[in-house]
Amino acid sequence: MHLLEIVRDKALMQPTPCGPGRRFEPDQVEAAVLMEIHGSDFNEPGDDYCLFILKDEIGREIAQRRIAGY
């Protein structure tokens, strides 16, 4: 798994009809200061996936969502 991007724009974390934000509760997004986006490696066994992790100001994980594919 690789860290692909760190997002600090709250608008990109908000619940939306599509995209990673639809997977998080509004209170989780409110508490987050960043969202890490990780992706599986092509050499890893199993299906490909992206992992979205919300973190607070001291780096604690608030929530994570795994979405199949890229």
- Which helix (H) or strand (E) element contains residue 65? strand 61-68
Q: What is the pLDDT of residues 57-69, one digit of tens each?
A: 999 999 998 888 7
Which pTM value belongs to this model? 0.80
Q: Rounded to a whole number, what is the largest CA-CA distance in the chain?
A: 36
Would you state the pLDDT for residue 54?
93
Average pLDDT of the residues in 42-59: 88
Average pLDDT of the residues in 7-35: 77
Alpha-helical regions (H) of the chain: 10-13, 26-31
Q: What is the DSSP letter of 29?
A: H
Q: What is the DSSP letter of 4?
A: E
Would you state the pLDDT for residue 44?
77
